Copies of this chain bind each other. A is one copy, B any other.
Amino acid sequence: MVIILKQNADTAKKNALIENLTSLGIVIHHSQGTHTTLMGLVGDTSRLDINLLLANDIVEDIRRISEPYKAANRRFHPDDTIISVAGRKIGEGFFSVIAGPCSVESEEQLTTIAESVKKSGAKFLRGGAFKPRTSPYSFQGLENEGLRLLSLAKKATGLPIVTEIMSESQLDDFDDVDVIQVGARNMQNFRLLKALGQCKKPVLLKRGLSSTIEEFLMSAEYILAGGNPNVILCERGIRTFEPMIRNNLDISAVPLLKKHSHLPVIIDPSHAAGMSWMVEPLSKAAIAAGADGLIIEVHNDPKNALCDGNQSLNMTEFDRLMGDICARVAFEKKIMG
């Protein structure tokens, strides 16, 4: 961290600042120019509060050098993390596809889809029991009944289940869930992140619509710092100015996250654009860019889906896509996890 002092900074205040930083174990290197005075800080600056330092009236500006995340940082954990769930693996050469309906609607719907996506090669079943909807008048999910149906589908097919949690108060109901999903709108629901840090279940953490890469990794850090090392990062589109699409898949997030973190990264091409015909090109791009997996919405009857029908593939389309995905994963010299 580098502190830039104001011109003609008061010496007493400057000494107080230096003393304060030194007392925290920080070593300071001074650099005096005609117009600017710099202090280079060496030591564990990750716990220094930049805002507090900026509020000091002799400080002009701060430049941070090192990242504020530690547990999620590849610099300190050079090897890829592999997440294992019921014999499936995600990360470091293992590629996984998670598929299923946007929301759980009925036992028949869910098992039909579950069996179909399993046959096509999906390794996890997704399905929303609790649905975060922009409108209070839209279908909000089957709630606990939806969780029950997911368990039945799991028993019937052997597919581990991935489903979204809305609040830390629901954790007890998620006992039979294999991977707990945190939705984009909850990426900075810090109470929820802390609670998930206390449990050991794998967490699929979706990136917020306008979260920076660093904020995303800081949310993962909440879970990791709590003691749960099993975090899967999921990019699902960011908000841009483009009116043609719902969200905009941030393909750069894949190499950036892989460079700065050791955690596995998967892509959600269904939510990214919000249109089923774009799932295929975005899935291809994700695999080529280095993603460790995909989470794809599949429905037995998209036009009668209770939510997000226009972004879901039907089962035949998914089956055809999976053929292509497998060929591409092999081309990348990865193994279907």
Contacts and interface: CB of A to CB of B under 8 A. Distances in A.
Contacts of A252: 242, 245, 248-249, 272-273, 278, 282
A63 B31 CA distance: 14
Interface stretch (A86-94, A120-128, A152-160, A303-311): A303-311
Closest 8 CB pairs of A and B: A55-B309, A29-B31, A33-B42, A31-B40, A210-B210, A54-B310, A63-B63, A288-B288
Main secondary structure of the interface of A (DSSP, over half): mixed
Contacts of A281: 254-255, 288-290
Contacts of A169: 167-169, 191
Interface in A233-264: 238-245, 248-252, 254-256, 259
A132 B190 CA distance: 6
Interface string A120-142: 00000000000011111111100
Contacts of A248: 250, 252
A134 B167 contact: no
A242 B213 contact: yes
Given A241-B212, A244-B212, A287-B288, A52 B254 contact: no
B166 A303 contact: no
A104 to B, nearest CB: 16
Interface of A: 2, 4, 27, 29-36, 38, 40, 42-43, 46-47, 49, 51-52, 54-57, 61, 63, 65-66, 68, 132-140, 166-169, 185-186, 188-194, 209-210, 212-215, 218, 221-222, 225-226, 238-245, 248-252, 254-256, 259, 272-273, 276-278, 281-282, 284-290, 302-312, 328, 331
A275 B168 CA distance: 34
B309 A52 contact: yes
Q: Which residue, of A65, A167, A192, A285, has the highest number of chain B Cβ atoms within 10 A?
A: A285
Contacts of A285: 251, 254, 285-286, 288-289
16 contacts: A4-B65, A38-B40, A38-B65, A47-B137, A133-B190, A212-B241, A214-B244, A248-B250, A248-B252, A256-B278, A281-B288, A281-B289, A285-B288, A285-B289, A288-B328, A328-B331
